[in-house]
């Protein structure tokens, strides 16, 4: 092999070295990019898997069975001034279960020297508390007012009814459904029962009104809860064993 051929071979070797380095560099870069992408994909999959594995915690809460007839033990109303305070000295409350978490009620109470005051409606147990179902007749829809607080302890029951400037507190004791009713309450009670029957059959079961799904809370404003603690102390005294 002559000198020219050797020089040519050496020249080719010199030219091939940079090319080999470039190829190795490119392969290395591709590997690093590939590893980097694999790590990103793997990390992303872990995050997604974690998110997919997250489940909402569902706490099963038993609906209190408040069904029955209750007679008044103690009741009074409290407001911001003494002019609003009053005593309830007679009362009767009927509650019947109409579904797993709903109860219909009829209530009659009497204050001194005043005609009996009556009320009827439906209470719905939702999110571990009772709401009073109300009907918006103009919109033909039902809303749920968080205006009652109810607690049951054996055969005792308390109800607190809130408004923005007045709160009514009542403590009840379960009684015989067939027991006599105070004469002064009978007429009003019968009329209110008829009103509840009409409400339940003709309105509450009217699919045009109740057919709309969805649970909306109707806020009536700030509750007057100033006297709650004093009432709850009374409640503890009645239910203390």
Q: What is the pTM of this model?
A: 0.71
pLDDT in tens, the chain (241 residues): 544 444 434 444 445 445 444 444 444 544 443 444 343 333 333 222 223 444 444 455 789 999 999 999 999 999 887 777 899 999 999 999 998 889 999 999 999 888 999 999 999 998 888 998 887 777 777 788 888 999 999 999 999 999 888 899 999 999 999 999 999 999 999 999 999 999 888 777 777 766 555 556 666 667 889 999 999 999 999 998 6
CA pair distance 139, 207, nearest whole angstrom: 13
Contact 40, 48 (CB under 8 A): no
Q: Among 136, 100, 102, 132, which residue's Cα sits nearest to residue 119?
A: 132
CA pair distance 182, 89, nearest whole angstrom: 11
Q: Give the contacts of 195 (CB within 8 A, at least 6 positions apart).
A: 118, 120
pLDDT for 80: 83
Contact 120, 101 (CB under 8 A): no
């Amino acid at each position: 092999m002559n000198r020219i051929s050797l020089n040519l071979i050496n020249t080719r070797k010199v030219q091939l070295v940079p090319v080999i380095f470039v190829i190795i560099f490119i392969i290395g870069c591709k590997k690093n990019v590939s590893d980097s992408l694999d790590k990103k994909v793997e990390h992303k999959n872990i995050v997604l898997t974690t998110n997919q594995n997250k489940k909402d915690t569902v706490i099963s809460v038993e609906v209190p069975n408040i069904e029955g007839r209750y007679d008044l033990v103690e009741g009074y109303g409290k407001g911001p001034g003494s002019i609003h305070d009053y005593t309830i000295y007679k009362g009767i409350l009927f509650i019947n279960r109409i579904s797993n978490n709903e109860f219909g009620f009829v209530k009659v109470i009497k204050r001194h020297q005043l005609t009996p005051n009556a009320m009827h409606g439906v209470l719905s147990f939702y999110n571990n508390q009772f709401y009073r179902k109300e009907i918006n007749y103009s919109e033909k829809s039902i809303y749920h007012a968080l205006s009652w607080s109810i607690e049951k302890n054996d055969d005792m029951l308390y109800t607190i009814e809130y408004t923005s400037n007045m709160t009514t507190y009542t403590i009840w004791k379960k009684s015989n459904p067939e027991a006599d009713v105070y004469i002064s309450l009978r007429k009003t009670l019968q009329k209110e029962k008829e009103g509840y029957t009409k409400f339940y059959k003709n309105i509450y079961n009217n699919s045009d009104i109740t057919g709309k799904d969805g649970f909306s809370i109707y806020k009536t404003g700030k509750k007057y809860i100033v006297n709650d603690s004093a009432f709850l102390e009374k409640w503890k005294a009645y239910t203390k064993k």
